Amino acid sequence: MDIAADPSHPRYASLLRRHLIETAAAEGLLAGSAMIAHGRGEAYDYLLGESTSASAARATAEAWSRLRAAAHPVISVNGNTVALAGRDLLHVAAALGCPIEVNIFYRTEARMAALIGRLEAWKEEDGLDVDVLGARDDGRILGLEGPRSRCDARGIAAADVVFVPLEDGDRCEALVAMGKQVLVVDLNPLSRTARTATVTMVDDVGRVALAMRNLAASEGSRGPSDTWNNDAVLQEALDEIVAHLTSKFRNV
């Protein structure tokens, strides 16, 4: 963390994110594979120039509009999302008046309790009125077997719009098959999750959460687009990667 403490370091933001992941791992919030998943995200973020592109900003505004227009929105978070974006997402949930549900791939009671406890502590400190769900697993995601199919009947199961940053491809497909709108954040525009979701924000989850918190604070939102084309957004992300790499290469 010594290098990250120096804001002039070119990788300052990236190192800060690593520090958040390291701290969360030490607190028992993350599964063993969490750092691998984060590393894959970092690699794509590097290719994207580690900043929010115009198409990603548009996707975040679209996701916010859909959450605002939803009858039963829910924000579903895993360990990495809590570590990198949990506090801002609590503020987004408070602005929407919707629950936030901890839903993890490798479910253990200890990790669930640690993640729920972390969100409850931030909620208390910031004086927010948000239902933190996940302790109950009385709902089912149809088409999946075992622990991955479990969710809260009052949260994901009842939702028409699910904002689930860092979702796994299988679950994203299953939620879409249940007729839900699925809004995801994934730095990899080629992942199954990115290609299956209703709206994909190809951006870092921390940057998206902060941007959405700012959208919530600024009030006003246009309605959801009738002509949203998620494939076009993914193509733009790929084009942005090529443009960024080309400009880097020219500067060498």
Residue 248 tokens, joined: 């880097």
How many angstroms separate the most distant Cα atoms in the chain? 56
Residue number with CB closer to ligand ATP (101 or 186)? 186
Closest CA to 20 of 134, 118, 90, 135: 118
The contact set with ligand ATP (CB under 6 A) reads: 37-38, 40-41, 44, 80, 84, 166, 168-169, 185-188, 191-193, 204-205
Residue 126 tokens, joined: 């910031």
Minimum distance from residue 133 beta carbon to ligand ATP (Å): 22
- Residues 13 and 7: their CA atoms lie apart, in Å, by 8
| Nearest-10 crossing angle of helices 79-96, 205-217 | 10
Minimum distance from residue 77 beta carbon to ligand ATP (Å): 12
Contact at 8 Å (CB) between 95 and 218? no
Minimum distance from residue 47 beta carbon to ligand ATP (Å): 10
Residue number with CB closer to ligand ATP (23 or 135)? 23
Minimum distance from residue 153 beta carbon to ligand ATP (Å): 25
Residue number with CB closer to ligand ATP (55 or 193)? 193
Contact at 8 Å (CB) between 55 and 202? yes
Number of residue whose CB is nearest ligand ATP: 41
Residue number with CB closer to ligand ATP (183 or 185)? 185
Residue number with CB closer to ligand ATP (146 or 220)? 146
18: left (phi over 0), alpha (psi -120 to 50) or beta: alpha
Minimum distance from residue 127 beta carbon to ligand ATP (Å): 27
